[in-house]
Amino acid sequence: MFLLLEACLGLSIDRVRREICFTRPLPPAGVGELRIQNLNVAGSVVDLLLKCDERDVSADVIRRTGDVRVVIAK
């Protein structure tokens, strides 16, 4: 299931730059919100809430421990 979401959301993780990137995200039809918990990036941990509609995706960082960035490239 994670690979499907990874492809739809354009999710990539750069451990060296400590960055989570969503490139041109396109959520599955009918999905209003997605929650990603305990995403570990080079020792940092992030919980995200993605809010989706037909044309846009936004990300709220619910919890972040450590130094990691979240980027949405539209």
**CATH C-level class of 2-73:** mainly beta
The CA distance from 11 to 20, in Å, is 7
- Rounded CA gap, 34 and 26, in Å? 12
In the predicted structure, residue 55 carries a pLDDT above the cut 80: no
Supply the pTM of this predicted model. 0.86
Cβ atoms within 10 Å of 48's Cβ, excluding its own:
18
Span 8-35, average pLDDT: 91
Residue 30: pLDDT over 90: no
pLDDT value at residue 1:
64
What does the domain layout of the chain look like in residue ranges?
A: 2-73
